[in-house]
Structure formats: structure tokens, C-alpha cells
Amino acid sequence: MAQLVINHDKINHKKMMELIELCPFNAIEEKEGKTYINSGCKMCKICVKNGGGCIDFVEDEVVTTVNKKLWNGITIYIDHFHGVINPVSLELIGKAKELAAIIDHPVQAILIGSDIKKIVEELEHYGVDQIHVYDYKELEHFKVQNYTEVFADYINKNKPSSILVGATTLGRSLAPRVAARFRTGLTADCTILKMKPNSDLIQIRPAFGGNIMAQIVTERHRPQMCTVRAKIFDAPEKTIEKSGRIINQDIDVKKLNSKIKVLDIVKKDAEVSIADAEVIVAIGRGIKKQEDIDMIQEFADLVDGKIACTRPLTECGWLSNKLQVGLSGRTVKPRLLFAFGIHGAVQFTAGMTGAETIIAVNTDEQASIFDVAHYGIVGDLYKVIPKLTEEIKKDRRITF
């Protein structure tokens, strides 16, 4: 267990007031002239970093309960539907190859389903070292009990060190059950993954409403598990040559006895998602009234873009939550993203930093959006956008 230790001998009244002001969670307080840390502490360690040595972070010695040498490989769960691999699974293969190179581990894929030979053949073109296949009629439809049994069988046989799962509807249902089965940790919606030389996976994700970036490490258990949203990492290039060893796995079909019966699968109506847009025009609090969105729509039409927004605009009902970018919205990776009137809190930027080119307009030259933007304009969007619109209309050779 880690704890914060207060060095009372270094604290006078003035320093105490500074520490109380420093804590963003109001977890430092005064009692009878002394400094105390209450239950509101989130262990963000801001007081340790900026407290001038008044507070120390003390961590107990970690007792390793697992032999890490027995766990080898980085595994990706291949999410698929009707013979098509979900793009997030390919993106995770790309990241897994980077991480595996650091510790010299193989990259493995686990593929579960029925009549999935074509998917196996597709995977052979993405540089996976091993493709573990569970092909059974009982696995034709996703039934979480059956898939959990298969995943457990795979882990027991192969002991992968890390498992990466796409944060899809199926992945978010399956991963927690597998983690619970092995009493190991699971970090949801990671935005950054790093690897230590000892094979500990550093899983980074925004926490406490995006106020901090939490680094989570599963030091005493294996496998390490995390889910990752789409469009965070880059998929590897598809090669002409095939590679990878195909391993057809066996499992006792008596274990695949889910009581769930799939009666029918109804296809949803196709809808245009901002996650697939090549050009996005995102707007935030800088928009003063709902009627002004017409001005943004005109600009978006000129650049063949889709309108997106930050959370405040969906909360006030101006735009659908399907158009929201960020931690509680969609993750996007367009070629070009305009950010109009957006200050750039991490809740928003975590969902769009993968954009190839970001152009920001904001009246505040200190706005955080300029830290991630490739081009910035300090100005009023109500003056900038009409001028941009006019210039594009004048010169139709401008393309995006």
C-alpha cells in the first residue's frame, strides 16, 4: 500500500495554507493547527511534486506473487463480425508489435468463432507471429459464457504476459469476465501503452474526469489486460506475403454449454459516423447560440466535412451526443480537424489527437488546444470563419 506522509516539522501556518490551496480535491485540511490529509485524497501526488518537500509519497515494498518469466507473449483478441475484422483489432496488432519488440516477446492473436478460415487467411498478412484459432459451431454467435471459457482455456495453455482487447461492445463485455476469472487487473479505455523491460505493461488513461493521466501497472499478477478504443493506434501495413504460425486449438465442447440462445440477428440501419469522417469541423463553448451552428454547417459543407462538438453542446441539446468527440464521446482520426471555439480540455483532446492536421481558432492565446494544434489562429471565430468561408468560395481550387 502507498501512502502520503506529512513532514510536520517543515510546515508553518503559511505553508499549510499553500498546501490546502494546492490540492484540487480539497483533501488537505487544517485541524487544531496541524495539517491532515482526508479521505478525498486521490493520490494524484500534486502535493508531493509542488509541496516543497512537505509531503512524501511512500510506497511499501512490492511483493511479487507471479513468476513473470513463465508468462510470454502479447495477445490481441480479434474482434470480428460476418467475416470482417474490426479495425481496432488491426490497430492493436500494430501497437503489440512495438511493445513486443522491447521485451522480445511474440505477438499472438486469438480468434474465436465458427467457419473463420477466411479471417485466419486475412490475419496472415499483418505480421502476427502466432494465430490461435478456436473454430467450433458452438462459437458461431457471441455468447459471453462460451467465449470466456475459450479465452480461459487459451490463457491456461499459453500464458500470455499481456492481452489487448478492443473497446468494442463485445470486447467490453468479454474482457472483465476474463480478468475476473484470473483475478488480474483490467484497465479500460487506455490511450497510451508503454512497456517496461521487465514485461510490466504501463497502461495510461485519463482519470477523475480527465484531470489527470493515470499510469496503471499490474506488477503482481498475470496476464495484464486492457481495452483500447478505436483510432488510438495505427494498424500495420497489409503485406503481400503471409506470415505467422496457425495453431488450431482444441477445447472440450461440453464447456460450451451457454444457456443463451440466439434467435435472430437484426442489422442496424447504417449511419454516418464522425469516427469515419476525413474532415471534421468541431465546435465548443465559443458558439454563443444554437442558430450560429448554421454558419458552421455552411463552412463544413464547403470543406466536405462533418460537424462535431464538445460535451457542453450536447448537454444543452444543440447537437446529438453522436457528434461528441472525447472521453465520453467518439474517438476520431481525420485527415483534417478544425477546432473552433474549443479551449482544449483533455476530455476533448484525448479523442482527437490522432488527427493528421489540426487547425484551431480561439480568442485565448493560452488555450490548451494550441498545445496540440498544428496551426493556430488567435481570434474570434465569428470573424475568422466568415473570412475563411469567403476565401474558399472565391477560390474553388482550395481542396481539403
Convert the pLDDT of each residue in 80-101 to its tens digit: 998 999 999 999 999 999 999 9
Domain contains 377 = yes
- The pLDDT of residue 209 is 64
Q: Does position 264 have pLDDT exceeding 90, yes or no?
A: no
CA–CA separation, 88 vs 107, rounded Å?
A: 16
Mean pLDDT of 209-218: 81
Domain contains 73 = yes
> Is pLDDT larger for residue 362 or for residue 350?
362
Q: Does position 269 have pLDDT exceeding 80, yes or no?
A: no
Mean pLDDT of 106-131: 96
The answer to whether residues 19 and 28 touch, using CB atoms and an 8 Å cutoff, is yes
Cis peptide before 176 (omega within 30 of 0): no
User: What total number of domains does the chain contain?
Assistant: 3
Helix axes 169-181, 144-158, angle to 10 degrees: 50
Q: Looking at residue 172, which CATH number applies to its domain? A: 3.40.50.620
The answer to whether residues 102 and 69 touch, using CB atoms and an 8 Å cutoff, is no
- The pLDDT of residue 61 is 65
- The pLDDT of residue 63 is 59
- The pLDDT of residue 221 is 93
CA–CA separation, 151 vs 149, rounded Å?
A: 6
CA–CA separation, 64 vs 60, rounded Å?
A: 12
Cell of 380: 474570434
- The pLDDT of residue 101 is 96
- The pLDDT of residue 396 is 60
On whether both 172 and 107 belong to a single domain, the answer is yes
Q: Say which amino acid occupies 357.
A: T
Classify strands 80-81 and 84-85 as parallel, antiparallel or unpaired.
antiparallel
On whether both 44 and 97 belong to a single domain, the answer is no
What percentage of the chain reaches a pLDDT higher than 70? 96
pLDDT class for 259, splitting at 50, 70, 90? confident
Q: Tell whether the torsion through CA atoms of 262, 132, 153 and 168 is positive or negative.
A: negative
Domain contains 265 = no
On whether both 322 and 350 belong to a single domain, the answer is yes
φ, ψ for residue 280 (rounded to 5)?
A: -125, 135
Q: Say which amino acid occupies 340.
A: F
- The pLDDT of residue 250 is 95
pLDDT for 155-211, tens place per residue?
999 999 999 999 999 999 999 999 999 999 999 999 899 999 999 999 998 877 666
The answer to whether residues 55 and 19 touch, using CB atoms and an 8 Å cutoff, is yes
Instruction: Name the DSSP class of 62.
Output: P
On whether both 124 and 213 belong to a single domain, the answer is yes
Mean pLDDT of 121-130: 95
Domain contains 400 = no
Domain contains 230 = yes
On whether both 235 and 125 belong to a single domain, the answer is yes
Residue-number span of the structural domain to which 166 is assigned:
68-255
pLDDT class for 213, splitting at 50, 70, 90? confident
Q: Say which amino acid occupies 381.
A: L
Given 228, 255, 282, the domain boundary residue is: 255
Q: Does position 399 have pLDDT exceeding 70, yes or no?
A: no
- Taking all residues of the chain, what is their mean pLDDT, rounded to a whole number? 91
The answer to whether residues 247 and 133 touch, using CB atoms and an 8 Å cutoff, is yes
Classify 300 as helix, strand or coil.
helix
Q: Residue holding cell 479523442? A: 351
On whether both 287 and 208 belong to a single domain, the answer is no
Give 9's contacts (C-beta < 8 A, 6+ positions apart): none
CA–CA separation, 94 vs 88, rounded Å?
A: 10
Given 227, 255, 283, the domain boundary residue is: 255
Given 225, 255, 285, the domain boundary residue is: 255
Domain contains 74 = yes
Domain contains 247 = yes
- The pLDDT of residue 263 is 86
Q: Looking at residue 316, which CATH number applies to its domain? A: 3.40.50.1220
On whether both 51 and 138 belong to a single domain, the answer is no
- The pLDDT of residue 210 is 62
CA–CA separation, 210 vs 349, rounded Å?
A: 10
pLDDT for 292-343, tens place per residue?
999 999 999 999 999 999 999 999 899 998 999 988 788 899 999 999 999 9
On whether both 106 and 219 belong to a single domain, the answer is yes
Classify strands 74-77 and 55-59 as parallel, antiparallel or unpaired.
unpaired
On whether both 293 and 349 belong to a single domain, the answer is yes
pLDDT class for 42, splitting at 50, 70, 90? confident
What percentage of the chain reaches a pLDDT higher than 90? 70
pLDDT class for 78, splitting at 50, 70, 90? very high
Q: Does position 69 have pLDDT exceeding 70, yes or no?
A: yes
Domain contains 266 = no
pLDDT class for 64, splitting at 50, 70, 90? low
Q: Does position 255 have pLDDT exceeding 80, yes or no?
A: yes
Mean pLDDT of 339-359: 89
- The pLDDT of residue 92 is 97
The answer to whether residues 385 and 340 touch, using CB atoms and an 8 Å cutoff, is yes
Mean pLDDT of 63-87: 91
Among residues 345, 308, 306, 341, which one has the least CA distance to residue 324? 308
On whether both 33 and 116 belong to a single domain, the answer is no
CB atoms within 10 A of CB 399: 7
On whether both 242 and 164 belong to a single domain, the answer is yes
CA–CA separation, 295 vs 132, rounded Å?
A: 52
- The pLDDT of residue 40 is 87
On whether both 292 and 239 belong to a single domain, the answer is no
